[in-house]
Amino acid sequence: MKGITPVIATIALLFITVALVASAYTYLSDYLNVYTSQNFVIPPGYAYCEAGVVEVWIASLSDSGLVEA
């Protein structure tokens, strides 16, 4: 019975680590979605393909504007 306690402690630490990573991922993905998905919009009809080239027009919803990447 003396060898079971370290195994249980290791499993508990693994569960805690997985829970912390999952919580951090959920928080960061929600945080980033709020700031990246609400600053611009693609107006209807402004995304099209012509001669094998995809062209998308983006309108900024913020005061800071968009930066070309």
- What pLDDT shows up at residue 64? 66
DSSP 12-66: HHHHHHHHHHHHHHHHHHHHHHHHHHSSEE--TT-EEEETTEEEE--EE-SSS--
Read off the pLDDT of residues 12-67 as tens digits, 9 standing for 90 and up.
999 999 999 999 999 988 887 776 666 778 888 889 898 889 998 888 777 765 56
pTM of the model as a whole: 0.48
The residue extents of the domains of the chain are 1-38, 39-69
